[in-house]
């Protein structure tokens, strides 16, 4: 979903890959199982003055004692309505995010350390690999009650702003909160807040945020983990 942002793109790369890998091999089943261990459900309940309520459901994933998710899971459908009560539950426990940014679609929670054991260290993110064009990534998605692994390739960096900042020496992208990475495969609805993995190292390299609908072909975009970790102070 493109939420009305202006996207500024640095460079265009045309390699395309779409591969949905059935969850039949032992390695695929292990990956899906580990991904499920990282995920936690999120429910946001808002009560209004007239007694009506709005309930939104989403998901996030655990790294250390932090849970990362997209802000639009928590946001109200009507921005001009003031709620009288706001409750956010992570895995059934009432919590308050330690960091949010509506424009850049980021929310971070601090969670009990016990929640991440033993799955939070399944994939290391201390030194995420460089996200260069044509590098292959993958993620787990649900469809009709079944899980599958979907692969795609990085196309380019983009920024949620009118113009991109100058690239760093060596062609790298400066890590700003409006930085996103675009891939050649759109993300299925319901995957927002899920982790993206590097196909070579299996490290978590980003968080799914949405898809962009274009006449030349739909794409997906995610927030790089290298930009999220400093916000979480991990």
Note the pLDDT tens digit of each residue in 185-195.
999 988 999 99
Q: Which residue has the higher pLDDT, 174 or 59?
A: 59
2, 165, 198 from 182: Cα distances, Å: 12, 16, 14
Collapsed DSSP state (helix, strand, coil) of residue 63: strand
- Render pLDDT for 126-175 as a digit per residue (tens, 0 to 9): 566 788 899 999 999 887 778 889 999 999 888 765 455 555 544 455 56
Distance between CA atoms of 119 and 61, rounded to whole angstroms? Answer: 10
The pLDDT value given to residue 119: 57
Measure CA 7 to chain center. Answer: 17
Q: Which two tokens stand for residue 222?
A: 């995610």
Identify each DSSP E strand in the chain by its residue range: 8-10, 19-21, 39-47, 53-63, 66-69, 85-90, 93-94, 99-101, 106-110, 136-143, 146-159, 179-183, 195-198, 204-212, 219-224
Q: Which two tokens stand for residue 151?
A: 């692969």
Domains in the chain, CATH or no CATH each:
8-34+122-232 (2.40.10.10), 38-116 (2.40.10.10)
Top-ranked range on mean pLDDT: pick from 8-22, 24-38, 63-77: 63-77
pTM of the model: 0.81
């Amino acid at each position: 979903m493109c939420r009305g942002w202006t996207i500024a793109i640095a460079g265009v790369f045309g390699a395309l890959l779409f591969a949905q890998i059935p969850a039949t091999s032992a390695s695929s089943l292990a990956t899906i199982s580990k991904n499920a261990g990282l995920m936690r459900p999120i429910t946001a309940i808002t009560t209004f003055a007239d007694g009506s309520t709005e309930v939104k459901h989403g998901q996030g994933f655990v790294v250390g004692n932090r849970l990362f998710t997209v802000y639009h899971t928590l946001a109200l459908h009507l921005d001009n309505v003031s709620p009288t009560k706001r409750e956010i539950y992570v895995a059934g426990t009432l919590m308050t995010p330690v960091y949010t940014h509506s424009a850049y679609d980021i929310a971070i929670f601090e969670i009990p350390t016990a929640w991440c054991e033993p799955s939070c260290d399944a994939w290391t993110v201390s030194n995420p690999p460089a996200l260069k064009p044509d590098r292959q990534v993958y993620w787990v998605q649900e469809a009709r009650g079944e899980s599958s692994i979907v692969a795609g390739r990085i196309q380019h960096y983009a920024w949620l702003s009118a113009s991109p900042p100058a690239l760093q020496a060596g062609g790298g992208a400066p890590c700003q909160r409006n930085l996103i990475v675009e891939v050649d495969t759109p993300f299925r609805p319901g995957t927002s807040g899920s982790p993206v993995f590097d196909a070579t190292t299996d490290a978590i390299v980003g968080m799914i945020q949405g898809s962009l609908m274009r006449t030349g072909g739909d794409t997906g975009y995610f927030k790089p983990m290298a930009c999220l970790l400093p916000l979480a102070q991990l």
